Structure 1
Amino acid sequence: MIFAHFKSFFPYRIGCFVVISVFSILAYELQFPLLERVAGGFDDIKTVMRQSMGAAPEPHPNLVVVTIDEPSINEFGRWPWDRKKMAALFQSLKPAAVVVMDIVFSEPSNPDSDQAMVDQIEANQNVILGYFLRNEATEHTDEEALDFLEECSYFDYELKADKVKVREFPYSELNIPDVADAALTCGFFTTEPDPDGLFRHYSIAYIHEGFLLPPIGIQAVRQYLNQEAKLVLDEKGIQRFSLGDSLLESQNFLRINFTKSVNSWSAKDVLSGSISAKDIKDKIVIVGVTEVGVFDMRPTPIDAVTPGVFLHYMAASNLLNNNLIEEWPALDVFSILFGLLLVLVISWMKQPNYRMTSYFFVIPLFIVISWLLYFQGNIWLREFYTVMPMVILAIAIELMSAIHADRQSRQIKDAFSSYVSSELVGEIIKNPESLKLGGDEKEISVLFSDLRNFTSMSEKLTPIDLVSLLNQIFDPMTEAILKEKGMLDKYIGDAIMAIFNAPIELEQHADRAVQAALAMVTIKNQKNISLREQGLPTIEIGIGVNTGPAVVGNMGSKLRFSYTAIGDAVNLSSRLEGMNKPYGTRILISENTKNALSQPYQGFLLRMMDRIRVAGKNEPVIIFEVMIDNDNNKALAAQFERALTQYFNSQFLLALELFSELAHAYEDQASNYFIARCEQCLAEPPPEDWGGVTSFKKG
């Protein structure tokens, strides 16, 4: 039996594993924009967590941003400033090792001002100018400008393919010639967002007019260290990048390692002399606009409003501190496949509880490992591409397992129906003519019961053990029905249908049906004690009883027939059995059965539960719960009736308060159900003529 189960289910598990593995690797390699939006947000969690924990790296001490901020603009006027003021700023920054401009001077202004700034830049001999790279523009870069760009480009690089996968821009917006000629060198400050609009990466190089160009952050480090960057490029992009002690492989971008803070000075303080030449000496100074009104803001994982100049600052700091984030694609692929393999292995655990516990432990473990590698070693794994396939595979396998278990339970139910007979031998002996097909209409009470947790139990027991257990449960329950003179109509898997007042006339048949239901609940409670001792799941039961006219007699064909009942009374009883689930009850009866009961009730009491309209019926039905007659239940029923009255009167707020008190005092599931109903009615009030009736699409 175990081998047959393994053989039948094995292909589904392996099939799911193979298909999800292939799609997961493809998704990781191709990085679809829509998926990257989700993955990027998933990645950001660890960045934000590290920042909030104060575990982010410290910025390089010799790196500072001079901000053209609100106080500076308030002091010296709206941006852009007169270039004589910029000349004064350059003069103040002359002691710096490098001055980097996150600003472009692409248009001439007042000739005297332009010349003053050019003279100062030339005198400084430490200014790196910035420029834009564009996809669209009205003019191409002229020959004179190309000469400047050539001086600003990378020199030490090796091409291993005719075409390299590095972004190329057709247009540029450069500094005017006099300014460009006076500068030490230049670098682009073009940055690109990820598919979701956030800035997490910093380009190592772009191509323009055949030149391989660096950004200002890398250009600043080149000049500060007085070392040339070395690059190796192939058809996939940048195979290798090194500068100083920093090394990256197979990455076209630096993944920005966001620093704990940014060292900055206001341009106002620099120009006023508040920042001394001693403080400025030997620093890398990046000048940029941070005033929000001027708009040079970039959304990042750590702040929705991050000045663009800070991206260059952090990239330069990462290079100088040699704390670049390394991406390991091979480890990502291994993590994806290993994670899926673990889920596959876990799925063979027989006990569902063990499987669920293992899933909830193993899947988050991959996130923890990824975070530790990032926090401790600046190693970046794309755990989204590992975790999501693991979740999908676990869901797929568990869904197939449930379908398989359901199919198995159906087979068990079919087997019960085929060998447990309910033919009325005595009636046939007395009345051979009753073998003819057809029947008569009469009033009967119909009982439907159904065991809960059947699928869960079927996973823990072999079919043979399960049949044995169900027989142990059904035997005393059947005896309870027969004791009350009911007729066992049929077993339907783990459900029972019984008829009272047919084929034999029976006085007080509604009372007998209710007493049988109460006895079945008692039997269930006794059996659960034994199940707990065996370490098995306990069972629950739902019972519906309805009284009304039905056609009873032999139904079927001439070859096979059985004595049964059909009609609306039978259908409503079946639906009442199913209604126990939402209300959290065990026995529900209809208003018809209540009216047929003898007074006073013997050993039980009723509480009105609801007014419902079941599938296939237009007329509403009032339903009642059968409860053991004791003081606690009497108090509960009385208080519940008051709450229900307020609910039917559309006093939902008051009803909600009363049901909440009941739920707290008695742990009453039906009250919890009506709490949700009250909240729904408060959010979406029903029509004035609703009459307190709730419609159910299916019973």
Structure 2
Amino acid sequence: MLRHATKFQILVSFAIVIWVSGDQAGFWPSQLLQRLESITYDYRVQLTLDGEVDPGLVIIDIDERSIAELGQWPWPRSVIAELIDTLFAVHGMTLLGVDVVFSEPEQNQLRDSWPVLLEQFPDLPEEPPLMTGDEQLANVLASWPVVLGYYFAGLDPAYPDVLSSVGVLPPPLQLLDDDWQQLDIPWVRAERFTSNFELLQNAANSVGSGAGFFDNPVVDADGMIRRAPMVQQAANGQLYPALSLSMLLELLGNPPVQAIIETGAGVSQLEGFDVGGFLIPTDSRGIVQVPWYGPERHFNYVSAVDVLSGEVDSDLLAGSIGILGTSAPGLKDLRSTPVGAVFPGVEINISLLAGMLHQRFLSEPAYARAASTLLLVVLGSIISVAFPYLTAFRVLAAGLILMSVHILINTWMWNEGLLLAFAPVTVVLIGTTGLHLLGNYWRESQRTSQVTSLFGQYVPPELVSDMVRSDFETSLVGAEKELTVMFSDIRNFTAFSEQVSPSQLSEVMNRLLTPLTRAIHANRGTIDKYMGDAIMAFWGAPLADDAHADHALQSARDMQNALAQLNSEFKDEGLPALAMGIGVHTGPMNVGNMGSEFRMAYTVLGDNVNLGSRVEGLTKSYSLDVLTTDATVQQAPDWLFRPVDKVRVKGRRQPVMLYTPLCRRQEAGSAQKELTARTREAFDLYQDQKFALSLALWNALALDFPDDPVSKIYIERCQIFADDAPGEDWEGVWTHTSK
């Protein structure tokens, strides 16, 4: 039986090796292995980002602020012309690429109606007196080194017989010799294009390279951009460069481009391009690995509106190479990449240009797949034959050593600029090692069972039973922890419910509790229970949260905002608005699974829980939406709190200081800071029994903040205490006798 198990183990191990090797050789591509390779590639990219910024490269950003100040995109061509002219004439930029397309002439009512005006008024000049925006932009393009952008596209699935292109293409890319034409290179092919209209394209052509495409049709199956074509072949059979390549050509004075052809074992294929001594390694289709330098906004960004308004530092732009593009989400030029799920397309193009200038590209040599396939076959065969005869411990040790060597070699090759597949070897090592580890362990267990069954009547086996609890299971056991608890309650909900039908009330409850719960969950809160229209929640368990007080206060604010939005909907529906009081308190509480043998619940108990409930009840007395205690204040230094009162709640002898959170400190305005400071001064005088002085401050506060409920309360108290002092033993505590 054990011998059969060993043979089965070897056969399964060889099956894993053959499956992975066949994928690497291209016999039966596996989507699973390709996906794993993409994941490991992304991790390697993220781990090797150098973080260095090239000060000579800059993105002129059509950002949200520019759109807000200059108007909706597209902007008038005269604005674009002014922007480009300012970059060169004022700030001394060296080269500018344009990651947008001007496919149609700009509408000009005066120019369009001029022939009609000439018929009515023959004495008018033959041409309108004012230059159009397109003419202004064309003049600018003819004056400065600007590389326009355009994009290619495939067939439209909705109209497969229609090959409609817009605009005109720039001059095609000319390779130095025609050797590449004999190879039948599978270029990335496009059927249609959307380019700049003739006036603008001709103006750009007159200065230099003219234009380059900025689309990327080689998006991976998971929607990520990891590669980009350097050239595409249009329907006319001509080759056209990418925007980044066209900018490099312009920068170098349009040198000849040489296709690098490698020949080996009777096979010739494209390996890259030589552009004036700058090497661009590609695959056999002319596609490069995008050289990633950092996360989004790694390069210098300059807002377009700052350029036009003169608020940009000329030293940043002087002598720089830039690309005009957009990071605004509304303009839909955001991509998914290994360094960011939402990454501006313009930054991908400038990363490609940076890779050319820095000569920093990962190359995958033609022999890489063959070498990887050979390595898989040899290594997999050795493992399949040798591992079944090792102990489980030795299998594990050998597997870890081989994996370490694999990681070190792959990392070294990566740092040298060579891209080798990581996932196939990893899958073989983990798959075969895991298989033999389990198989050998099972065979060792079976052998032990055989010995035990044979000699058990003489030597009885030991039985050891260990109960192992996971971290989460342990957390279900009752324990005392410092947590933050919240109670919320809708005020006068009974009166509200009398005005709607039972079916409406059920709908209102769902509409009410859903956004409130969402606000709690979004800030890592745990819902303890719903009590009609009230909610009890806590923070800090079952998952530990060092910022539990901060998250509870943020939840309270989000809940009030959600209620305000809901009240707006109620108003439109003719329903009365609702108000909600929220009490927040921090302190030691007992948390865990509690209940009976019939029903259990994960909840919190203790005096501090009761105090949190009392604090919520006091929101009515002070006409405030949120109240919290000094214990919570100490745990939330990022918030600005206004002191409210020092109270003794019903059922509790120890007094507690109450506050109301106003906002986060970095959000505080002058009015909020003034309100807090003046309240503290007036409250301290009140605590010191200087009621006349305190009354004067509260009256002044009420004049400046007429809707402040706290001032009204203290004005009434100070008037009473001024006539009837509470006595020397008064602690400054207001005792509440109801919940």
* TM-score after normalising by structure 1: 0.55
Aligned to 1:101: 98
Is 1:196 equivalent to 2:222 in the alignment? yes
Change (3 A) 1:304 1:156: farther
Aligned-residue offset at 1:76:
1.3
Change (3 A) 1:237 1:294: farther
Distance 1:471 1:35 in 2: 46
Q: SS of 2:48's equivalent? A: helix
Is 1:246 equivalent to 2:279 in the alignment? yes
Aligned-residue offset at 1:122:
0.8
Match of 1:377 among 416, 421, 434: 416
Change (3 A) 1:120 1:454: closer
Aligned to 1:229: 257
User: Is the contact between residue 199 and residue 301 of structure 1 (CA under 8 Å) also seen in structure 2?
Assistant: yes
Distance 1:307 1:159 in 2: 34
Aligned to 2:15: 19
Q: Which amino acid aligns with 1:135?
A: G
Q: Any idea what the Cα deviations from partners look like across 1:219-277, whole Å, max 9, x if unmatched?
A: 11122123333224699863332233324254532111211321221112222233455
Distance 1:342 1:652 in 2: 56
Q: Any idea what the Cα deviations from partners look like across 1:289-328, whole Å, max 9, x if unmatched?
A: 1111222100111111111001101011011101111224
User: Is the contact between residue 165 and residue 238 of structure 1 (CA under 8 Å) also seen in structure 2?
Assistant: no
Q: Any idea what the Cα deviations from partners look like across 1:309-349, whole Å, max 9, x if unmatched?
A: 01101011011101111224344334433542453365144
Q: Which amino acid aligns with 1:194?
A: D
Q: Any idea what the Cα deviations from partners look like across 1:352-406, whole Å, max 9, x if unmatched?
A: 12212332443354234423433x3233222111111222223444555567x3x
Is 1:303 equivalent to 2:335 in the alignment? no
Distance 1:29 1:149 in 2: 39
**How do 1:121-520 and structure 2 match up within 5 A?**
121-124=141-144, 126-136=145-155, 140=163, 145=168, 148-152=169-173, 154=175, 158-159=179-180, 161=182, 163-183=184-204, 184=208, 185-192=210-217, 193-208=219-234, 209-226=236-253, 227-232=255-260, 238-243=270-275, 244-248=277-281, 250-251=283-284, 252-260=286-294, 261-275=298-312, 279-327=316-364, 328-341=368-381, 343-344=383-384, 347-374=387-414, 376-398=415-437, 401=440, 405=443, 454-455=445-446, 457=448, 467=451, 473-475=456-458
Q: Which amino acid aligns with 1:219?
A: S
User: Is the contact between residue 163 and residue 192 of structure 2 (CA under 8 Å) also seen in structure 1?
Assistant: yes
Distance 2:138 2:602 in 1: 79
Q: Which amino acid aligns with 1:130?
A: G
Aligned to 1:419: none
Q: Which amino acid aligns with 1:173?
A: T
Match of 1:48 among 46, 49, 68: 46
Distance 2:73 2:176 in 1: 36
Distance 1:141 1:654 in 2: 64
User: Is the contact between residue 63 and residue 303 of structure 2 (CA under 8 Å) also seen in structure 1?
Assistant: yes
Give unpaired runs (5+ residues) of structure 1: 406-452, 459-465, 478-523, 525-538, 542-579, 585-645, 658-699
Is 1:540 equivalent to 2:568 in the alignment? no
Aligned-residue offset at 1:583:
11
Distance 1:274 1:295 in 2: 27
Q: Which amino acid aligns with 2:37?
A: A
Aligned-residue offset at 1:110:
3.1
Distance 2:249 2:81 in 1: 24
* TM-score after normalising by structure 2: 0.52
Distance 1:48 1:88 in 2: 39
What percent identity do the matched residue pairs reach? 19
Q: Which amino acid aligns with 1:203?
A: P
Change (3 A) 1:473 1:203: same
Aligned to 2:519: none
Distance 1:157 1:63 in 2: 34
User: Is the contact between residue 92 and residue 277 of structure 1 (CA under 8 Å) also seen in structure 2?
Assistant: no
Aligned to 1:114: 134
Match of 1:69 among 46, 63, 69: 63
User: Is the contact between residue 213 and residue 243 of structure 2 (CA under 8 Å) also seen in structure 1?
Assistant: yes
Aligned-residue offset at 1:282:
3.3
Q: Which amino acid aligns with 1:27?
A: D
Aligned-residue offset at 1:171:
0.6
Give unpaired runs (5+ residues) of structure 2: 109-131, 470-593, 606-739
Change (3 A) 1:59 1:158: farther
Distance 1:402 1:356 in 2: 11
Alignment RMSD: 3.6
Distance 1:22 1:249 in 2: 29
Aligned-residue offset at 1:216:
0.2
Change (3 A) 1:583 1:110: closer
Change (3 A) 1:583 1:202: closer
